[in-house]
Amino acid sequence: MTSLLDELRGLSSVACDTLDAEVASRFGPFVDCTSNQAIAYNELSKVDENGKLVYQQLIYESIEVAHWMFGKQSDATLEELAVELMMVNLALLIAPHITGRLHIQTNPKLAYSTAKTIKNAERIHSHFQHLSPALPPTRICIKIPSTHEGLAACRHLEQRSITTLATALFSLEQAILAADSACRYVAPYVNELKVHFEPGHVDPDRDGSLLLCGVIQEYYKRLGERRGKPIRTEVMAASFVSVEEVMQLAGVRNLTVSPGLLEELAGTRVEGWGGATVGMVGRFVGEEGFDEGRAREVEGLVREGDEAGWRMAFTRAEGGRAEGRLVQALNIFVGVQEGLEEVVRRGVKQGA
């Protein structure tokens, strides 16, 4: 019998949105593995039946390497270095179950600094090479929040052959600038980040965000046709909360899916999914909602290097909601980043 996960894999490239190697092993193999500070914090907070941190040794080892690195550079605090190393070490545990790229997100505190984001991304990239020299650099992807400064950092990094993903993306404006910056992926969020932190919260703009994923893919398709060859940037839809949302975007080039939804997809047979629901597959993938005039207008701002014009277009996108959702995501990610840094401080006090 065919599961929904099997069906989905026949229509899209599926990534696992987790740093849990057991999940990747159980439901894989996957193409890519995506993560962020919240995913890392949840993983590093896991305890065994005796109440001991599952990753205590990984935390200690990451802090030890951070101590060694701290005296050799001045671009990051000891805590920031250790957080980066913990996330990279977790990703490396999943590497055997992944055929494609391991995605690590930059420090969200740096989202409004191009120069600092570039340094942070380069350092994360070098952590992989230090901890796992045999891992090809082509299997590393750096996730960067889709601020104007972050997308400028992506442009610089891509020119240096460091693969990037523009994350926390909520508008066509961000997607157009990301493509112009040659990002390998964009990650439009189906749900605002808040839904994963406040039980019972429902994103009032979810359907619009589902539609946006298809609109961005349609834009990239048309842009490639105008240029006479496919463009490099691909959609990787993210931040799902239901199987129905995932299946409605089947056909988008890439989707990244959390452990709970992967389990539900793997455990649901296509044959038993039922009647009208089957007709929802790929519902939001296509030309519906695409505004050629709006796309060309934003393209012009990007082509002319009109930063102020692009910023105003983004500020007004979706009636101001797109920018608000990005700010919300950054607020949440910064809070979790600070939580991870506290994990390091506790580790240091305990003698790491």
Percent of the chain with pLDDT over 90: 88
Is residue 116 pLDDT above 60, yes or no?
Answer: yes
pLDDT band at 276 (very low <50, low <70, confident <90, very high): very low
The residue among 349, 344, 350, 346 whose CA lies nearest residue 70 is 344
Supply the pLDDT for residue 280. 79
Residue 70 pLDDT grade (very low, low, confident, very high; cuts 50, 70, 90): confident
64, pLDDT greater than 60: yes
Run of H or E including 15: strand 13-17
What pLDDT score was predicted for residue 274? Answer: 61
| Each residue's pLDDT tens digit, 304-317 | 999 999 999 999 99
- Label residue 77 by pLDDT band (50, 70, 90): very high
Residues 246, 261: contact at Cβ < 8 Å? yes
Taking the C-alpha atoms of residue 113 and residue 143, their distance in angstroms, rounded to an integer, is 15
pLDDT at residue number 165: 98
Distance CA 178, CA 191 (A): 20
pLDDT for residue 282 is more than 90? no
* Average model confidence (pLDDT) across the chain: 94
pLDDT value of residue 273: 79
Whether this model's pTM surpasses 0.85: yes
| Mean pLDDT of the 101-129 span | 98
44-68 burial, b at 16+ Cβ within 10 Å, e below that, comes to beeeeeeeebebeebbbbbbebbee
Is 230's pLDDT higher than 60? yes
Angle between helices 206-227 and 292-303 (to 10 degrees): 70
72 — pLDDT class (breaks 50, 70, 90)? confident
pLDDT at 96: 94
Pick the CATH number of 4-349 from 3.40.50.300, 3.30.1330.10, 3.20.190.10, 3.20.20.70: 3.20.20.70
Q: What is the pLDDT of residues 134-191, one digit of tens each?
A: 999 999 999 999 999 999 999 999 999 999 999 999 999 999 999 999 999 999 999 9
Q: Are 103 and 143 in contact (CB under 8 A)?
A: yes
Amino acid at 331: N
**Measured between alpha carbons, how far is 124 from 166 in angstroms, rounded to an integer?**
16
Residue 29 has pLDDT above 70, yes or no: yes
**Taking Cα atoms as reference points, which of 85, 86, 81 lies closest to residue 55?**
86
User: Is 70 exceeded by the pLDDT of residue 193?
Assistant: yes
Question: pLDDT category, 287, cuts 50, 70, 90?
Answer: confident
Flag whether pLDDT at 240 surpasses 80: yes
- Does position 221 have pLDDT exceeding 70, yes or no? yes
Question: Is residue 93 pLDDT above 70, yes or no?
Answer: yes
Q: Which pLDDT score is estimated for 286?
A: 85
Task: Using the predicted structure, report yes or no on whether residue 297 has a pLDDT greater than 80.
Answer: yes
Contacts of 75 (CB under 8 A, 6+ apart): 116, 119, 120, 123
